[in-house]
């Protein structure tokens, strides 16, 4: 709940306030935060959302059940099919250290956010870069 509230930030809009749920966060903020579990390293997350309507009172009740499961962390990064100097530049530019909570968006941003004025940025602009994620469900990496 604390993590969702932190992601929600301040609620200033009256519409958002009327959609608030326990703890002051908004339903619009809570759902995407919980549903985008891979940003938090939660690949085993189980979630179930349900709603019930009380037409006589014009009220909709939402229930969101979440079982987080284990947190996955960054394991070993292996770079294949490149020259030694390019491999070294790619490893130096990688910002998610081994053991950090895994965030798949960091991988996509890695290719997109390289400075195009650098050799590495030029390589990423002109090369077909692909990646493969391999989860270790025993080690949670």
- pLDDT means over runs of 10, the chain (141 residues): 60 47 58 64 72 83 76 89 86 91 84 87 84 88 90
pTM confidence score: 0.59
Q: Are 105 and 39 in contact (CB under 8 A)?
A: yes
The CA-based dihedral angle spanning residues 21, 22, 26, 27, taken in that order and rounded to the nearest 10 degrees: -50
User: Distance (Å, rounded) from C-alpha 29 to C-alpha 4?
Assistant: 8
Alpha helices in 1-141 (DSSP H): 2-8, 14-18, 27-35, 84-93, 104-112, 119-126
Q: How does DSSP classify residue 26?
A: B
């Amino acid at each position: 709940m604390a993590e969702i509230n932190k992601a929600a930030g301040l609620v200033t809009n009256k519409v958002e306030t009327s959609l608030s749920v326990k703890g002051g966060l908004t339903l619009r903020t809570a759902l995407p935060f919980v549903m985008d579990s891979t940003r938090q390293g939660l690949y085993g997350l189980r979630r179930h959302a349900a709603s019930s309507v009380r037409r006589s009172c014009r009220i909709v009740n939402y229930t969101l059940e979440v079982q987080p499961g284990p947190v996955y962390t960054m394991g070993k990064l292996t770079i294949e099919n490149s020259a030694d100097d390019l491999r070294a530049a790619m490893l130096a530019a990688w910002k998610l250290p081994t053991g950090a909570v895994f965030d798949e968006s960091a991988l996509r941003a890695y290719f997109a956010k390289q400075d195009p004025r650098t050799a590495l940025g030029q390589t990423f602009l002109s090369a077909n870069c692909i990646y493969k994620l391999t989860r270790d469900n025993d080690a949670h990496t």
